[in-house]
């Protein structure tokens, strides 16, 4: 919410089976200009996709889509997946079918270019230099191509009981995304912020 209200974040994805999914949905409804997509999680309790993924996935995706609509009161603006499991050859056809059926842009399978380099952990080690203001400035100035680009980010707060490994990096991302210098860089590069709400209204050859 802070990255959206004070920074450059325009879109988010909702993990509907997370412990705080109801709270997250309620927060997002307070900012209707924020686009929210479905962050599909098809892992089992082990944390890994099961061997029969292609058989159980269609039902799991439809269940999570229904849950999204119950929580949000509307359909998602886009579709992606936890740990990018949609890249799995067993999973991709199911994701593509759902995306086509519902008219949803699926990450890496729509005209929106996915840019994932703004990430502060490589090889299990923290690299703050990858998510600094200077790093994001350089990416925006040299690596954003013509068309529409989704710049992936994971802003948040470092809480002591957070179970994931990507923790302190989240606050560093948040500071960078909210730094006023970044808006100056966007203006200088003629990059306009849009959300998935607006994606369908933008000509695909327009720089964003």
Return the structure tokens found at 151.
């710049």
Digit-coded pLDDT (tens) for 37-62:
999 998 764 344 555 666 789 999 99
pLDDT digits (tens, 9 = 90+) for 67-114: 999 999 999 999 999 999 999 998 999 999 999 999 999 999 999 999
Q: Please give the helix or strand (H or E) that residue 113 lies within, else none.
A: strand 113-115
Q: Please tell me the number of Cα atoms within 13 Å of 26 on its side-chain side.
A: 4
Level-2 CATH architecture, domain 1-108: Alpha-Beta Barrel (3.20)
Give pTM, 2 decimals. Answer: 0.89
Count the residues in the chain.
208
Q: Which residue intervals of the chain bear CATH 3.20.20.370? A: 1-108
Dist CA 30 CA 11 (whole Å):
14
DSSP 30-55: T-TTSEEEEEE----TTSS--TTHHH
């Amino acid at each position: 919410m802070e990255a959206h209200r004070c920074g450059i974040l325009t879109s988010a994805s909702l993990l509907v089976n997370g412990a705080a999914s109801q709270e997250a949905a309620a927060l997002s409804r307070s900012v209707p200009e924020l686009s929210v997509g479905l962050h599909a999680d098809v892992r089992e309790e082990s944390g890994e996709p099961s061997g029969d993924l292609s058989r159980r996935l269609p039902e799991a995706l439809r269940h999570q889509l229904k849950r999204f609509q119950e929580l949000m009161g509307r359909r998602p603006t886009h579709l992606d997946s936890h740990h990018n499991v949609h890249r799995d050859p067993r999973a991709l056809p199911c994701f593509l079918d759902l995306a086509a059926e519902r008219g949803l842009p699926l990450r890496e399978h729509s005209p929106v270019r996915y840019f994932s380099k703004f990430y502060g952990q490589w090889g299990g080690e923290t690299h703050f230099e990858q998510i600094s203001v200077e790093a994001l400035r350089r990416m925006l100035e040299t690596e954003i191509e013509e068309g529409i680009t989704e710049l992936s980010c994971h802003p948040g707060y470092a809480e002591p009981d957070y179970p994931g490994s990507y923790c302190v990096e989240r606050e560093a991302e948040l500071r960078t995304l909210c730094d006023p210098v970044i808006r100056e860089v966007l203006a200088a590069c003629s990059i306009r912020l849009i959300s998935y709400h607006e994606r369908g209204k933008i000509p695909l050859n327009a720089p964003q």
